[in-house]
Amino acid sequence: MPELPEVETVVRGLRLPFVGRTVTGVWTDRASVIAMPSPELFAARIVGQTVQAINRRAKYILCQMDHDVFAVHLKMTGRLYVAAPDETHPDDRWVRLRLELDNGKRLCFSDSRRFGRVYLAGSVNEIAPNLGPEPLEDDFTIAVLEQRLQGRHRAIKALLLDQSFVAGVGNIYADESLHRAGIHPLRLADSLTPAEIERLYSTIRASLSDGIDHEGASINWYRKPDGSKGESQEHFYAYDREGKPCLTCGQAIVKIRVAQRGTHFCPHCQPEK
């Protein structure tokens, strides 16, 4: 599933072709892709509205319209791109929703696995009211992270995946952050020392920032709006490197399951205390 860096890259790639465009029509191949409101009300409300801005909250793409927020969650295989009707795109066969635009082009939402959803609401809080802090914002400080860890008797990897704890971090960047901080993924969150919390704070922000700089990780379905791949997968320290030597110590990266997710770490650099 695309995480914060991938979603942020999609947001940046959509601004030029989508901001300033007015929606003139809606097409969908299945009503369930529209999670909020009803498909009929969705079409009636969004047609005639102009895209004022595009931003991100957690893993949601947020398009600020004249009166509403048009939100998209890509889930596992969702892709967004703007194309002319006569253009052929490799993802056209999986298009679940199209927004017709006033310049003759279309915003296409393609989703092979059909898990992705779109929303039209007054704010993202109507869609996902319990999201945690944004890890790259200035108000996410070491003190905030330390406070949120208190009393959390859960494996730190599982906690990082919890979107109510911190928004936007998923399996990839949790593994990367923990590896760079030297913290075992099964360490209990409330057992981390102040020094470990400070390291984790820094590596969460560094891993996500590096992911944005490399325009996301194209290891499965994720692609940028222009169809090209991101390059974060070329710079992983731990994720998807099972059996390969640790870039720090040379010992083989191992894979276990934490919170039902494949988890990669170095037993030497991330000892289980």
199 assigned to active site: no
224 assigned to active site: no
Total structural domains in the chain?
2
Say which range, 88-92, 105-109, 145-149, 185-189, has the weakest mean pLDDT.
Answer: 88-92
Q: Is the peptide bond before 37 cis (omega within 30 degrees of 0)?
A: yes
Query: Is the pLDDT reported for residue 30 higher than 90?
Result: no
Residue 65: HSE in the Cβ half-sphere, 13 Å Cα cutoff: 21
Long-range contacts of 234-237 (CB under 8 A, 24+ apart): 235/210, 236/172, 236/176, 237/176, 237/179, 237/180
> Pick the catalytic residue: 21, 56, 57, 59?
59
Domain boundary among 75, 92, 127: 127
Query: Is the pLDDT reported for residue 46 higher than 90?
Result: yes
234 assigned to active site: no
Token pair, residue 117, equals: 């959803």
59 assigned to active site: yes
Looking at the structure, do residues 91 and 203 belong to the same domain, yes or no? no
pLDDT, mean of residues 234-245: 98
Look over the chain and give the mean of its residue pLDDT values, rounded to a whole number. 97
Q: 50 near 117, Cβ under 8 Å?
A: no
Looking at the structure, do residues 212 and 154 belong to the same domain, yes or no? yes
Q: Could you tell me if residue 15 is inside a domain?
A: yes
Q: Could you tell me if residue 92 is inside a domain?
A: yes
pLDDT for 1:
83
CATH number at residue 62: 3.20.190.10
Query: Is the pLDDT reported for residue 251 higher than 90?
Result: yes
Q: What is the pLDDT of residues 161-192, one digit of tens each?
A: 999 999 999 999 999 999 999 999 999 999 99
> Pick the catalytic residue: 3, 8, 100, 176?
3
CATH number at residue 248: 1.10.8.50
> Pick the catalytic residue: 15, 205, 261, 267?
261
Domain membership of residue 85 as a residue range: 4-127
| Exposed / middle / buried, residue 29 (Cβ in 10 Å: 0-12, 13-18, 19+) | exposed
Q: Could you tell me if residue 134 is inside a domain?
A: no
pLDDT for 175:
98
pTM of this structure: 0.96
Looking at the structure, do residues 27 and 122 belong to the same domain, yes or no? yes
Looking at the structure, do residues 110 and 155 belong to the same domain, yes or no? no
Q: Which residues pair with 81 in a beta bridge?
A: 108
Q: Could you tell me if residue 273 is inside a domain?
A: no
pLDDT band (50, 70, 90) for residue 207: very high
> Pick the catalytic residue: 2, 5, 135, 185?
2
